[in-house]
Structure 1
Amino acid sequence: MANLNEVKLIGRLGRDPEVRYMPSGDALANITVATSETYKDKSGEKKESTEWHRCVAFRQPATFIEQYAKKGDLVFVEGKLQTREYDKNGEKHYTTEIVVGNFQLLNSLNGKKASTSEPAAAAGAASASPPNGLDPDDDPPY
Structure 2
Amino acid sequence: MASINTFTIVGNVTKDVELRYTPSGTPAVTFTVAVDNVYYDRDGKKHEETDFIPVTTYGKQAENDAKFLKKGSMVAVMGRIRSWYKADERKGGFNFEAENVQYLSRAGNGGRQGGEAGPQKAQGAEGHDDWMRDYDRAEQSGNPGRRR
Q: TM-score w.r.t. structure 1 length?
A: 0.65
Following superposition, the deviation at residue 80 of structure 1 comes to 0.3
Q: Whose helix proportion is higher, 1 or 2?
A: 2
- In the TM superposition, what whole-angstrom CA distance separates every residue of 1:59-78 from its partner, at most 9, and x where no partner exists? 11111110000111110111
Following superposition, the deviation at residue 47 of structure 1 comes to 3.0
- In the TM superposition, what whole-angstrom CA distance separates every residue of 1:70-120 from its partner, at most 9, and x where no partner exists? 111110111001011236xx42311202111111110159xxx9xxxxxxx
Q: Which runs of 4+ in 1 moved over 6 A?
A: none
- Distance between the aligned counterparts of 2:37 and 2:6, measured in 1? 21
Identity between Structure 1 and Structure 2 (%):
28
Secondary structure at the aligned position of 1:63 is classed as: helix
1:105 corresponds, among 94, 103, 106, to: 103
- Provide closer, same or farther for how the CA distance between residues 10 and 3 of structure 1 changes in structure 2, counting only shifts above 3 A: farther
Residue equivalent to 1:53: 53
- Distance between the aligned counterparts of 1:43 and 1:5, measured in 2? 34
Gaps of 5+ in 1: 114-139
**TM alignment of 1:11-50, pairs within 5 A:** 11-41=11-41, 46-50=46-50
Q: Whose strand proportion is higher, 1 or 2?
A: 1
Paired positions, count: 109
1:94 corresponds, among 82, 89, 92, to: 92
- Distance between the aligned counterparts of 1:16 and 1:86, measured in 2? 28
